[in-house]
Amino acid sequence: MKYQQRLQVAVRERLRKLMTAPYISAGHEVHLAVTWINSQPALRGILEEASRAEPGVDRDRFRTGLTGNAPFIWPSRTEEGRATLIWDLMQAIAKADADDPSAGWRTASAYSSERRHQDSWREFAEDVLQPLFDFLSERVGAESSILHTLERYRTRTEWFDREELYTRFTADTANGEEVYNLDLQRFLFLEGDHITHAKPRSASGEADLVGDLDGRDPLVCDGKIFDGKSRGKSYLVKGVHQIIKYAHDYGQHTAYLVIYNITDKLLELPTDGTPGAWPPYTELSGVRVYFIHVRVAPPTTTASKAGKATRVTLTHDDLTNPDTT
């Protein structure tokens, strides 16, 4: 059974557990579901992308509608927005569970007109929580998470294809960046069904990879070599600002910068998200740029003999004040 199929089955099983949970432990079941979803890179990627699809979705109106003080109407315009609202609610219930185990069924009781707590929880789970799991199952089946696809590309390259790609790179260093970008383009098509076009023309120049140009949601993706020298921090900063311009050209609020690290240096990247969470990202000029760091240089020695690695840190200040890098 394919990975996507197994994950779809697991998503449906999590929904079944929520819907059949005793109302007294409903909050704890939500907590377990949130923990499990956070442990699945594909689902995290889907939810991360969904949160960017409908900026400004009215969370307060959603929460007020759940109290029964007003008719319940979904305030979102898209499936992504609805999924974001539900995910936020589940995280809030999970967080409250430690202090208030009744948080789950009390939320359900406020929403439902059923007199029995168990019936209230069932109605709440069907009406409010189930759409999130339907959304996740559908997106997993469509292999639509760009972040998950890029994570798999990083893993495949680092584990299996370092030597081959690096050999091709060193054979033609002047066009070495193209070696990696063409490999990424092929992977995006074969593994993620993202049809990309090499160097399409836009108002800001030629991006290395922009996908799905004929669709409603173009994929803006660019790849840059990091060699710690002529293509060092300033080169990456230039890449960030270029990809932001490409995103503006194609009316996108999200872009992906793949960094091919051909050195043995540890590259530390800034993030506006949770420290340590993958992938790091920065938000500039209304665009969220995800950094996909791929170590492409073959190791020259074993980890135990390598010694202390040199660190290179790209900071927010480097990005906002490029003249200082």
DSSP state letters, 124-181: HIIIIIHHHHHHHHHHHHTT--HHHHHHHHHHHIIIIIHHHHHHHHHHTGGGHHHHHH
What average pLDDT does the segment 83-90 reach? 96
At a CB cut-off of 8 Å and minimum separation 6, what does 183 contact?
157, 161, 165
What average pLDDT does the segment 251-261 reach? 91
- In whole angstroms, what is the distance from residue 112 CA to residue 92 CA? 19
| Radius of gyration of the CA atoms of the chain, in A | 22
- When pLDDT is cut at 50, 70 and 90, the band that residue 211 belongs to is very low
pLDDT at 28 over 80: yes
Nearest to 173 by CA among 237, 236, 235, 225: 225
Residue 214 confidence (pLDDT): 47
Q: Encoding tokens for residue 37?
A: 């979803």
- When pLDDT is cut at 50, 70 and 90, the band that residue 217 belongs to is low
Q: Encoding tokens for residue 182?
A: 């063409």
More confident residue, 178 or 192: 178
Residue-wise pLDDT tens digits, 280-302: 999 999 898 999 999 999 887 55
| Average pLDDT, rounded, for the chain | 85
Residue 112 confidence (pLDDT): 84
Three-state DSSP class for 192?
helix
Residue 201 confidence (pLDDT): 40
Residue 302 confidence (pLDDT): 54
More confident residue, 245 or 299: 245
Residue 277 confidence (pLDDT): 79
Residue-wise pLDDT tens digits, 46-86: 898 898 888 889 999 998 888 876 678 899 999 999 999 99
pLDDT at 103 over 50: yes
